A and B are shown apart, each in its own frame.
Chain A
Amino acid sequence: MPRDTGVLVLGGGSTGCGIARDLAMRGLEVTLVERGNLTDGTTGRMHGLLHSGGRYAVSDQASATECIEENEILREIAGHCVEETGGLFVQRPEDSDEYFQEKLEGCRECGIPARVLSGTEAREVEPYLAEDVARAIEVPDGAVDPFRLCVANAIDAENHGARVETHAEVVDLLRDGDDIYGVEVRHESGPGKRTHAAPGTTEEITADYVVNATGAWAGQIGAMADLEIEVRPSKGVMTIMNVRQVDTVINRCRPKGDADIIVPHETTAILGTTDEEVPDPDDYPEEQWEVDQMIDTLSELVPILEEARTIRSFWGVRPLYEPPGTGTQDPTDITRDFFLLDHADRDGVAGMSSIVGGKFTTYRAMAEEIADHVCDKLGVTASCSTADEPLPGSENIETLEAGMDDFGLRSPVARRSMQRLGSRASEVLETDEPNPVICQCEGVTRAEIRDAISQSGSDLNAVRIRTRASMGNCQGGFCCQNMANELHPTYDEETVREALDELFQERWKGERHALWGEQLSQAMLNYALHATTMNRDRDPASATGDVDFAAFDGGRAASDRVDGTRGAD
């Protein structure tokens, strides 16, 4: 029977998008479905550390080696998503010398460039490090933008003919006896780009092969075809500071622990994280003590964090997996390696494999291995080229930097726009139209917002992850409305209103965890702007019941009016 597509990939995180790109580049026909936006799962809720492998250099050298290899590849193929910050493993007086030595040797064994700095040297690199930091190991950690990288993979997959459907939730697996041949999806607003207020539809998509890359949700997908996949979701918190207290990734040099990494990311620094198993990846408590722990513990490394302003916190859920019967108690002990579960071998059900576990840093290598497996299943011989071909935005970065053009923008705005857009900068920013700044905190202009809208429909969260608009200090208080304005007239007023409400509510979700000090003042200002100045909380357009306009003050007497009529008073 002819199928709708060759390979159907479930899940639009780094794993799914990486697989889709890889297979599409090998010439396969690929469809990817994602229930929310790209990166809505764990990928958009991770720490942003491009591992050097140093973290695993003692406990898991295979992972460490893979990290450094992939780290080097991503700097090449995804330069516009990576900031080469470097990283330090810092030792405090109470941290063991022995472990410090093991870490150093481990790095060297895994091929991770590592150099010891004295406490003084470390503070020359990072002046805010605590006075009693004894010494540090310098490694090539980096900061990575998971949104940009994941979206670039999806765009490239599309460039190679793939179909990418967001807001398309898999609601059932199509199974015929011992054969899985596709899925049923529910499109939130019909197929294609998302439009708020458009009605939902369902679609059956059949495929020669299905790849389940839904991470922490893989078990839920498996259950649709009575397959058991033992994912152990484990949550972690991350707290975002309003400025970069550090420009280098700071790791605590001790065996393992919570709250031991600070990653500088764009204009912010992100503190993280924790590791705690949760029963449901969609519903788990987000608690005050977790946020407090980030600040209190990491202040031991960088004391000014104690007084600093945080702008929001967020949680992510690791898709940890361990083979049945391993029985590890503490989630921090579960391996960070990934597992490819071929349900034909494992459960006697053909047509689908699931991928669980792994790391963002090694997404490409994972995707390569899975794509090899799929090709093998389908009898296709084509080899992987994802390590050699730069992602859209990272082509010819050198020529871009050499021929810097400001596109008529103020230079800080131009610089930030070009960092985000990479080699796409001129395509996006060259315009004869006025190009005002829409998001002041992040320096995002109209042209960039419109480019993102053209990719993602009326979904302003999809615009946000592409541009960083509304992700700065004001958390959208000043720019959400302006972002929504750019949807019009392509989208009608009702659609724009719903899109704006959704973005504003999403911003609040994370900001709730930063509500003290400056950020509480900011929250009140944002609330006043939207509720007082604009009356968006009691908007008659969204409320039920009509307003009797004629009963209100209609202005002054006839003599004052151009057309001589009277108002309603």
Chain B
Amino acid sequence: MAIEDDVLVVGGGLAGTTAALAAAERDVQVRLVSYRQSTLRNASGLIDILGYTPAGDGPLVDPFEALDDLPAGHPYERVGSEAVREALAFFDGIVGDAYAGAHTDANALVPTHGGTVKPTARYPTSTAAGLASDDRDALLVGFETLPDFEAPLAASHLEAAGAPFTARGVTVRFPGIGRDDAKVTRYAHLLDHDEPVETPAGETTAREALAETVRTHLEGESRVGFPAVLGDDRADAVRADLGDRLGVDVFEVPMGPPSLPGIRLEDLLYEALEAAGVRVTTGVPVVDYETDGEGADATDPERIDRVVVDRNGAEVPHRATQYVLATGGLVGKGVQSERDGVFEPLFDCHVPQPADRYDWFVDDVFGDQPYARFGLPVDRDLRPLDAADDPEFSNLRAAGAVLGGYDFAAEKSGSGVSLATGYVAGRRAAEGCR
């Protein structure tokens, strides 16, 4: 017996969860199947809409102004700028106070752990006091045992980038971290639970000890930034507590993987899925599909009848009326490659690509990289298109990084595209069930 739902979303990253939530709002039964951890754990937790035009102009103050000028085939062009706004409003509703930035259309400039600044549209509240487009002086604090963030270097870098305030950096020992290779979750746990720690002055608690360590370095700055390790489950309380003790605003600088702000966002989205009644199956891949043979004549695209989920070797059919493909790009493995070609592994949807592997890249590492645009072309309904520009299937839509035609890394548009296309794909899928 097949498992039956109205909408089946394959992939549980930002695009897939958004699609599932958007569909579930329309009173249809939604299931989400996801295999491995999503890209959210690698990503900074920032929600970029558009920081630079595809030609590289920017940083853009207003991302929305630029949306209408994007080239045909760009995912934003496919869904239209109004859908981008709606999707963002939908996201704001889901995350509530956990994110900021909704009070303006303007991008914020957020300091990165490399000391550069980058334009983004929504940022975790934990980052809010740290904006580089805020003109208050800042103290950046790094930890001797966390080599990813060299605070004094980041501070000089901010200055070189022209940030409108004085930034200083100090490196301190994190009280209570004994091991040189402790994971970021260990730092977060210490602060979440305010664990007892030994200091030269005797036993105290983790937050108090950290505040004491930092206090001596303050020179009148009204905000203090730390690498993003300030708690996991109780991040707000940790920040507030440190802020109270130091009499400053405390913020986090987003970091590379594993990224706590990304993990926090993931947790939030999965809570929302549960609240919305979405059936979630994780840890298992969708491995195959079957069509029902209908519409297989020259003009009509085929319909997917069911997909097959591999549950530890057992092949379990899952049937739905509409399907959303949100399996990610090269990072999420929704787009894969071999020496002689790039392909979409599940439905074998068409992936445009230069025939010669040596045309997949350019020699400048930050040049206009063709591989960064690999992914599926879609119609305005987000249905993947075959080489002849016809829909591959009548009831399959694609969303997020699996889409082609944009370089999210250069444009700074990753999460925005996942939200906008996830939202539209989810809505249309639900509508298609009627």
Q: Which residues of A contact B (CB under 8 A)?
A: 287-288, 292, 295, 408-410, 433-438, 445-446, 478, 481-482, 485-486, 488-489, 492-494, 496-497, 504-505, 508-509, 512, 515-517, 520-521, 523-525, 527-541, 546-556, 561-563, 565, 567-569
Contacts and interface: CB of A to CB of B under 8 A. Distances in A.
B103 interface: yes
Contacts, number: 246
Interface string B396-422: 000000000000111010100000000
Contact of B59 (A434, A547, A561): A547
Contacts of B360: 515, 520
A308 to B, nearest CB: 11
Q: Which of B114, B145, B257, B372 has the most CB of A within 10 A?
A: B114
Contact of A497 (B42, B118, B152, B157): B157
A493 B249 contact: no
B59 A567 contact: no
Interface residues of B, number: 89
Given A435-B180, A540-B117, A553 B59 contact: no
Contacts of A504: 365
Contacts of A521: 330-331, 333, 336
A516 B357 contact: yes
24 contacts: A410-B181, A434-B144, A435-B180, A436-B145, A438-B147, A446-B147, A481-B256, A488-B152, A509-B363, A515-B357, A517-B337, A517-B339, A520-B330, A523-B361, A528-B42, A537-B409, A540-B161, A541-B161, A548-B61, A552-B119, A563-B136, A567-B133, A568-B133, A568-B135
Q: State the main secondary structure of chain B at its contact with A.
A: loop
A553 B162 CA distance: 16
Given A516-B357, A520-B337, A532-B412, A554 B153 contact: no
Contacts of B149: 485
Contacts of A524: 329-331, 371-372, 409
A489 B331 contact: no
Contact of B116 (A434, A438, A535, A565): A535
B116 A536 contact: yes
A95 B107 CA distance: 67
Q: Which of A445, A482, A552 has the most CB of B within 10 A?
A: A552
A496 B223 CA distance: 26
Interface in B115-165: 115-119, 128-129, 131-136, 144-150, 152-153, 156-157, 159-164
B136 A565 contact: yes
Given A485-B149, A485-B150, A536-B366, 11 more contacts: A435-B180, A481-B114, A508-B365, A515-B371, A524-B329, A527-B409, A536-B114, A547-B161, A551-B133, A554-B134, A562-B223
A547 B247 CA distance: 31
A544 to B, nearest CB: 12
Nearest to B329: A524
B361 A553 contact: no
Nearest to B155: A493
B369 interface: yes
Nearest to B60: A552
